[in-house]
Structure 1
Amino acid sequence: MMDPRAERDLQAVKEYLEASMTPDPERAARFVAPGFICRFTGNRQFDTATGPTSFNAARYKWVKKRIERYDVVPGKQETTVYSLGFLFGEWPDGTAFDHNRYIDRFVVRDGLILETDVWNDSAEWILDPSVGRR
């Protein structure tokens, strides 16, 4: 059984990701703390929930996450939550993609996300589209 604090923090991450994929950045913003920071692959940094949504709108025609699992690491004051799975969607030219690996790391306190780090294969696939078609 998971500690209630860690369970609440995990639920905040799930709600944030659901809102982000809709995309509904206003709803996603309800789950972020003041001072929130999101670091995307390449060290692009955003300080609002709308930043990642805007970045994704320029990179993809549309994109969703197929979440395979969450790993939850309770701490003394904060919970670290990892979301792991695959991205699928379409590139701006309409070409479909799937099985694009991702890992998101969230640091959460009191049900609010303090920071997140985002890693995925998209940059590599953009550099060499044949990689994503194997």
Structure 2
Amino acid sequence: MPFVQAAFAQPSDETAEAADIVERFLEASMVPDPETAAKYMAADVAITFTGGRKFAHPRETTGFNARRYKWVKKKMERTDVSAGTGETIVYNTGTLYGEWPDGTPFEGNRYVDRFVVRGGKIVQMDVWNDSAERLLTRNHIEA
């Protein structure tokens, strides 16, 4: 997957490490293995999903996804990193693919995940994707 450093600079050890932490977290999340995923997160992590849904641990997001999808994976297309003072911001973008609860397959569902990495741990995760819009369309509901 392409790794892009802001301002076209060479990746620093800190930004490369933050990108690696995020990508390892996402890989564990897709298994899904919430306990391994949690190893990359601070104990007081703040996780917010589309629609303002708040979570405190990857097992909660795994449970939410288990209700929304029969299964879901990410096609990670890009990771962008921007170093800040004492923290690194990491964006991971791509598309989701999988099956809805009724077994109907889907693909091309865009997502953006934004992470704040501090002290070698993810302290904040914000998730946006097109799933809600796709569910409305599937159910012939006008938003």
CA distance in 1, matches of 2:94, 2:114: 12
From 27, 42, 57, the equivalent of 2:66 is 57
Per-residue CA distance 1:20-47 (angstroms, 9 max, x = gap):
0000000001000121011000000001
SS, match of residue 101 in structure 1: strand
CA distance in 2, matches of 1:57, 1:130: 19
CA distance in 2, matches of 1:76, 1:42: 29
Per-residue CA distance 1:106-126 (angstroms, 9 max, x = gap):
000122000100000000111
SS, match of residue 5 in structure 1: helix
Moved over 6 A (4+): none
- Confirm whether residue 124 of structure 1 aligns to residue 133 of structure 2: yes
Identical amino acids, percent of aligned pairs: 52
CA distance in 1, matches of 2:16, 2:88: 9
Q: Check conservation: 1:9, 1:110, Cα contact below 8 A.
A: no
Instruction: Give the unaligned 5+ runs of structure 1.
Output: none
For residues 1-134 of structure 1, what are the structure 2 equivalents within 5 Å? 1-129=10-138
CA distance in 2, matches of 1:111, 1:96: 36
Q: Check conservation: 1:5, 1:110, Cα contact below 8 A.
A: no
Q: Check conservation: 1:66, 1:85, Cα contact below 8 A.
A: yes
Aligned residues: 131
Distance 1:69 1:130, change over 3 A: farther
Equivalent position amino acid for 2:46 in 1: I
How far the C-alpha of 1:130 sits from its partner, in A, is 7.8
Q: Check conservation: 1:78, 1:107, Cα contact below 8 A.
A: yes
